Structure 1
Amino acid sequence: MQTIDKPLRDLDNNLFDTTIHRRKTRPVKVGNVTVGGNNPVVVQSMINEDTLDVDASVAAIRRLHEIGCEIVRVTVPSLAHAKAVGEIKAKLAQTYQPVPLVADVHHNGMKIALEVAKHVDKVRINPGLYVFEKPSSDRTSYSAEEFAQIGEKIKETLEPLVVSLREQGKAMRIGVNHGSLSERMLFTYGDTPEGMVESALEFIKICESLDFRNLVISMKASRVPVMLAAYRLMVKRMDELGMDYPLHLGVTEAGDGEYGRIKSTAGIGTLLAEGIGDTIRVSLTEAPEKEIPVCYSILQALGLRKTMVEYVACPSCGRTLFNLEEVLHQVREATKHLTGLDIAVMGCIVNGPGEMADADYGYVGKQPGYISLYRGREEIKKVPETEGVKELINLIKADGKWVDP
């Protein structure tokens, strides 16, 4: 009979490591926010107002920023839009405060990008659309010479923008989308994560040849398995090439409602748990403000940021001594404005103290009609159920951890 000489924990310590070890990346400044390095994962969103409507755009950006969105993207489909962004930036500074802005530039956007680069902190370009490659109906492949020729055309078109951003100390996001790979990449690599990665690397190498490295990279797809594969391959190739650029994570076109949130969490959360990702956006077909709570919930669940109360609550069973769903709602409504606390709401004594051992405060049903309040593992007092929430607040106040809503 075979015996095990060492405990399992000695064989592979990684199995017991509960810390997420983030991939080391270079810091890239976007206005007054820094993406990458040792900085927290940054939350982004995008307004859906027409950028030509300066007042509406300013109001939308402000709404997002006030609820925690740290970088805001605007679309810039024309030169007029690019100039309007200058007015938006100025009005934000005059009426609110500077907000890090990113301009989305597509479709032969060199002139647009050069104009908007004066006004924003980062320009996002899509390699599949930045230089339009006219498709040919009878083409079956690209020769190496044709591939290289288009690569030179891309460099010629991209260089003025790179030089402008470099001289201004601003940033660029090379944002590859699975659904908009260029024909050249599709013929050469197929509709694959490899094609996405090679598309990004082509643009990265052009930037590096011009001594510009204020880059953030994204590899978005609407299908989670494709998105995961693309980011993982991107990291592998960057590691092989000695690149340390931060990554912006997102599942593009995730949809709306519960499924849109689950889909985004499946993609973004999986990569963050692997240590991949420096900034995120949850792309919902809803008001942009709805995206921000989802971002923070993902980050908090993984222990990457603490921006709200963490509630620990059992699922309820026949042993539960009060209406757990209702009481959890009452506790949440009374304390949800606090930050940095863990509060447990447990229905009975069987699992209560053990399951909530890591919580700052506990609210436990010990006997019918009464609630036991805990500070950490210590039971502080037993109070009537009708006074439970009020007494929990008093306990938090007594510890100096309460702030008024």
Structure 2
Amino acid sequence: MQTLPTPPTTSDPSSQTFVDTTIQRRKTRPVQVGNVTIGGGAPVVVQSMINEDTLDIEGSVAAIRRLHEIGCEIVRVTVPSMAHAYALKDIKQKLAETYQAVPLVADVHHNGMKIALEVAKHVDKVRINPGLYVFEKPKSDRTEYSQAEFDEIGAKIRETLEPLVISLRDQGKAMRIGVNHGSLAERMLFTYGDTPEGMVESAIEFLQICESLNFHNLVISLKASRVPVMVAAYRLMVKRMDELGMNYPLHLGVTEAGDGEYGRIKSTAGLAPLLADGIGDTIRVSITEAPEKEIPVCYSILQALGLRKTMVEYVACPSCGRTLFNLEEVLHKVREATKHLTGLDIAVMGCIVNGPGEMADADYGYVGKQPGYISLYRGREEIKKVPEDQGVTELINLIKADGRWVDP
């Protein structure tokens, strides 16, 4: 017969061992992007990217402002040509004149040295893609890369990257080394295959060039459209950085996640496991919708993990046969009345069986204890019982009485 362990008999809390449920974030060096800090213990930063053509000065300024006003802390713009690079000077200036300075990142891709050097004068961070920054002409009959060929291209990369690194270093600006699974350089594909290892080694190659030039204002990303690849790449990157004594912050994202519910679920599936393990200092949710739709998803993921608190946290049971009111309808009414508040936890529970226990951490509780009546709680304490049709109004009055209400 199996012998079960004897439960402890003491009720003294000081004798209990409690598990810390706070996410312990990976320690990273701080990187300044305009007036925003990435890493170094700063809150996880939310980013997005405008869709407008950067040559459209007015449209770009308006798009950047829309994103920033709803909580996007860093905005990225695409810079495919020198004309676009010059346009960023006007965009930056117009933002300062008509709104305020917004941290801007320029996205530079194919053979981008001249573009990057120009745009580095006007933005706070330059994002480069190691797989595209130096063009490697593919050979259809290639079966391998010799070490000499590998080294020759590495030297070309250093020669091309060095002026940009020096410019950003001397200006006190930042760079994102943004590896994409779908655009690895050919020699990385031949050497490591289409794998997370190839993504990581691509990033390490650029990191080591930057470090040799005493440039450390670096953020790393390793994005993929397949969640398992993306998660594996970031985990491997952390392992490799630990081995090399590096502590650069990481920008997380599932690229090309799609749209609608699945796009949001896919992004969450990639971001949440890493963030829960303390990996990640800045995030973007890349969905095929207006950029403004990305920001609420970012904040919802961060709030669910306890990493940022930017809205009311609603605790609500799924409803069952014991529920004494229309839970879905009541939750909607409570949410509409209180969603503008920041930092509160409000529980809406359908019955008394599990309600008080499951809402113990909430600031306020709205519980159905008997037909036609609502019990309102402050924390664990029942404050009053009111008719159901007065429940939402009385909840608001309770919040007001505690001095925690602000008008919408």
- State TM-score, norm by structure 1: 0.97
Deviations 1:53-91 (A, max 9, x none): 000000000000000000000000000000101100000
Letter paired with 1:384: P
Instruction: Decide which of 253, 256, 260 is 1:257's aligned counterpart.
Output: 260
Which residue in the other structure is 1:248 paired with? 251
- Per the TM alignment, residue 17 of structure 1 is displaced from its structure 2 partner at its CA by 3.0
Which residue in the other structure is 2:12 paired with? none
Instruction: Decide which of 212, 224, 229 is 2:227's aligned counterpart.
Output: 224
Say whether residues 1:344 and 2:341 are aligned partners: no
Instruction: Decide which of 157, 162, 171 is 1:159's aligned counterpart.
Output: 162
Cα distance in 2, alignment partners of residues 5 and 75 from structure 1? 62
Say whether residues 1:172 and 2:182 are aligned partners: no
Cα distance in 2, alignment partners of residues 351 and 14 from structure 1? 25
Cα distance in 2, alignment partners of residues 2 and 212 from structure 1? 61
Letter paired with 2:160: T
Letter paired with 2:149: E
Which residue in the other structure is 2:74 paired with? 71
Residue correspondences, number: 401
Deviations 1:280-332 (A, max 9, x none): 00000000000000000000000001000000000001111111000000000
- Per the TM alignment, residue 18 of structure 1 is displaced from its structure 2 partner at its CA by 1.0
Gaps of 5+ in 2: 9-15
Cα distance in 1, alignment partners of residues 227 and 199 from structure 2? 14
- Per the TM alignment, residue 2 of structure 1 is displaced from its structure 2 partner at its CA by 8.0
Cα distance in 2, alignment partners of residues 19 and 358 from structure 1? 15
Cα distance in 2, alignment partners of residues 359 and 236 from structure 1? 38
| Percent of aligned pairs sharing the same letter | 87
Cα distance in 1, alignment partners of residues 59 and 98 from structure 2? 13
Say whether residues 1:20 and 2:23 are aligned partners: yes
- Per the TM alignment, residue 402 of structure 1 is displaced from its structure 2 partner at its CA by 0.4
Which residue in the other structure is 1:99 paired with? 102
Instruction: Decide which of 368, 371, 375 is 1:368's aligned counterpart.
Output: 371
Which residue in the other structure is 2:293 paired with? 290
- Aligned residue for 2:289, secondary structure, equals coil
Say whether residues 1:127 and 2:130 are aligned partners: yes
Cα distance in 2, alignment partners of residues 357 and 15 from structure 1? 17
Which residue in the other structure is 2:87 paired with? 84
Say whether residues 1:281 and 2:296 are aligned partners: no
Cα distance in 2, alignment partners of residues 317 and 203 from structure 1? 56
Letter paired with 2:27: K
Cα distance in 2, alignment partners of residues 292 and 200 from structure 1? 27
Cα distance in 2, alignment partners of residues 342 and 282 from structure 1? 25
- Aligned residue for 1:391, secondary structure, equals helix
Gaps of 5+ in 1: none
Cα distance in 2, alignment partners of residues 291 and 264 from structure 1? 10
Deviations 1:315-355 (A, max 9, x none): 00111111100000000000000010000000111111111
Q: Which runs of 4+ in 1 moved over 2 A?
A: 1-8, 13-17
Deviations 1:360-389 (A, max 9, x none): 000001111111100000000111111110
Cα distance in 1, alignment partners of residues 261 and 59 from structure 2? 28
- Per the TM alignment, residue 16 of structure 1 is displaced from its structure 2 partner at its CA by 2.9
- Per the TM alignment, residue 3 of structure 1 is displaced from its structure 2 partner at its CA by 6.8
Letter paired with 2:244: L
Say whether residues 1:313 and 2:340 are aligned partners: no
Cα distance in 2, alignment partners of residues 259 and 101 from structure 1? 29
- Per the TM alignment, residue 6 of structure 1 is displaced from its structure 2 partner at its CA by 9.9
- Aligned residue for 1:62, secondary structure, equals helix
Letter paired with 1:287: A
Which residue in the other structure is 2:328 paired with? 325
Query: Compared with structure 1, are the counterparts of its residues 166 and 96 closer, same or farther at alpha carbon in structure 2 (3 Å cutoff)?
Result: same
Query: Compared with structure 1, are the counterparts of its residues 308 and 77 closer, same or farther at alpha carbon in structure 2 (3 Å cutoff)?
Result: same
Cα distance in 2, alignment partners of residues 45 and 189 from structure 1? 31
Cα distance in 1, alignment partners of residues 64 and 277 from structure 2? 31
Query: Compared with structure 1, are the counterparts of its residues 14 and 125 closer, same or farther at alpha carbon in structure 2 (3 Å cutoff)?
Result: farther
- Aligned residue for 2:272, secondary structure, equals helix
Instruction: Decide which of 166, 172, 182 is 2:185's aligned counterpart.
Output: 182
Instruction: Decide which of 338, 344, 359 is 1:356's aligned counterpart.
Output: 359
- Aligned residue for 2:46, secondary structure, equals strand
Deviations 1:7-30 (A, max 9, x none): 89xxxx999331211100000000
Equivalences for residues 126-145 of structure 1 within 5 A: 126-145=129-148
Deviations 1:262-289 (A, max 9, x none): 0000100110001100000000000000
Cα distance in 2, alignment partners of residues 7 and 259 from structure 1? 44
Query: Compared with structure 1, are the counterparts of its residues 80 and 18 closer, same or farther at alpha carbon in structure 2 (3 Å cutoff)?
Result: same
- State TM-score, norm by structure 2: 0.96
Deviations 1:34-58 (A, max 9, x none): 0000100000000000000000000
Say whether residues 1:210 and 2:213 are aligned partners: yes
- Aligned residue for 1:16, secondary structure, equals coil
Cα distance in 2, alignment partners of residues 235 and 6 from structure 1? 41
Cα distance in 2, alignment partners of residues 272 and 302 from structure 1? 8
